[in-house]
Amino acid sequence: QVVFALNQTLLQQESLRAGSFQIPYTTEDLIKHYNCGDLSSIIFNHDTSQVPNFINATLPAHERITAQEIDSYFRQELIYKRNERMGRRVKDLLEEYPDKSFFFAFGAG
């Protein structure tokens, strides 16, 4: 899985550099739509997380399964478990200091 992930990452980077693959939005696009309060934009209806995406239709079936396994692992470890940790920390702070005010800011992953 590690070798597969590294190869796919390198192929994506080579495609980006060669201009044969383009990301449909830029970081500036995300910031502009966020600042304008346009969270229903087509940009925010897609997965904008920094989790690598190895699944594509051109992969052979056995490689697609490997890509799905890696994708599930990354989402579980980098998104879901992180969210659970942050939620526990927020809850613990609120319970420990019930008379204090807090401001919490969360990214979209």
pLDDT in tens, 3-57: 888 888 888 788 878 887 766 677 787 788 778 877 665 555 555 455 556 666 6
The pLDDT of residue 26: 74
Q: Is the CB of residue 52 less than 8 Å from the CB of residue 74? A: yes
Please give the Cα distance from 83 to 108 (Å, whole number): 10
Element (H, E) at 104: none
The pLDDT of residue 37: 75
Contacts 24+ apart (CB under 8 A), 96-100: none
50-54, 60-64, 81-85: least confident range: 50-54
According to DSSP H, which parts of the chain are helical?
2-18, 27-35, 61-74, 81-96
Can you give the pTM of this predicted structure?
Answer: 0.48
The pLDDT of residue 106: 80
